[in-house]
Structure 1
């Protein structure tokens, strides 16, 4: 599928664009040593805004280096691995088109694709682009949030290997489009409901189509 270009952990930042939290862990930097990925998150990383980040289904975030190059051209400045706030900078993976529920082995860890990352004003402020949320939605390549099914170490150069893929074929990009307001995608995304975290399933109103109720 591809491989890990770098593993990145947070350097805490402050600034007016960080919002009410005052600090953010969005600025992530590559590390040379293996990093442990656990169901509770990435060892050595820091999550400040735990209301919107850091749930079990957001244990790690991955973004493609090819997309970093696209945004470098878009913004007129060089973005490097970690600049999208990603723990895993991937090369040759097309992660935004991974199927929801897809399982990967990277290093000694097993990760599962849970859904897209939605852009926010902290992200826009970090990239110094006021219109980023809208433009990010238009491009539709949000990268992926990952749950950790088996803890393990990951380092730069590790191969991303497919373990399993659900048959519904609903991708991260499909769910992102629905989350960004394309309500025509609801029927298309509904078959992936069982592989989405309950909170996101409710937010996307998929239970109305599937009949699944989950109050967790």
Structure 2
């Protein structure tokens, strides 16, 4: 099955109810038609509310596979369509098991590269009024992922995502999620991820710290 960009979605920050308070969020993304410019910091017309954790060169495009939506419709009892998970690219043919960290694709005139899995936050849960949604997404492995933009250019819904290159020692998005969220002391798995130069800096920092802790634990067990 060819990978395809089914829907382009953009949004601007707005007030989002979260418990007894409100926060600014651009989690609401709306499908748009026509051609958009994709640059190193994302799509024209799209914004993020908190640039400390969203957006930037390594998270220029949030991507979500539409194959995941039937699962969430069944679990949540909600009608969900493109943009429901706050993604910029709603895609088909790119489930987490099939996409690898460092994969490079051509889409329209642009060239993009997978930098890391998406880590859902409380704003996704607040949008759908399901408090445990971020944890459910994380535990399911149906997280989606991020692109960095290597070559800016025009993109539009319907464009094919053609795989140009895959790192030799690659790790799938699904496997990266397992290592990060479930088997957190898998030192060999952490080392495989850290060996991928294309892995985002934020994931690299987290995993390097975790690997140091795993090594210390192993040393204490041996000495004990």
TM-score by length of 1: 0.88
Q: Distance in 2 between matches of 1:27 and 1:16?
A: 13
RMSD across aligned positions (CA): 2.1
Q: Which has the larger radius of gyration?
A: 2
**Number of residue-to-residue matches in the alignment:** 209
> What is the aligned partner in structure 2 of residue 165 from structure 1?
166
- 1:199 pairs with 193, 197, 202, which one? 202
> What is the aligned partner in structure 1 of residue 5 from structure 2?
4
> How far does the alpha carbon of each residue in 1:26-57 deviate from its partner, in whole angstroms, 9 at most, with x for none?
11011101111111221110111111111211
Is 1:121 the counterpart of 2:122 in the alignment?
A: yes
**Is the Cα–Cα contact under 8 Å of residues 179 and 186 in structure 2 kept in the other structure?**
yes
Name the SS of the counterpart of 1:7 in structure 2. Answer: strand
> What is the aligned partner in structure 1 of residue 26 from structure 2?
25
> What is the aligned partner in structure 2 of residue 94 from structure 1?
95
Q: Distance in 1 between matches of 2:191 and 2:135?
A: 24
> What is the aligned partner in structure 1 of residue 218 from structure 2?
none
Larger CA deviation: 142-151 vs 88-97: 88-97
Q: Distance in 1 between matches of 2:66 and 2:124?
A: 17
Q: Distance in 2 between matches of 1:127 and 1:17?
A: 11
1:177 positional shift: 2.4
1:75 positional shift: 0.8
**Is the Cα–Cα contact under 8 Å of residues 36 and 42 in structure 1 kept in the other structure?**
yes
Uncovered stretches (5+) of structure 2, i.e. residues with no partner:
213-224
Q: Distance in 2 between matches of 1:94 and 1:175?
A: 13
1:178 positional shift: 2.6
Larger CA deviation: 82-91 vs 123-132: 123-132
Uncovered stretches (5+) of structure 1, i.e. residues with no partner:
210-216
1:78 positional shift: 0.7
TM-score by length of 2: 0.86
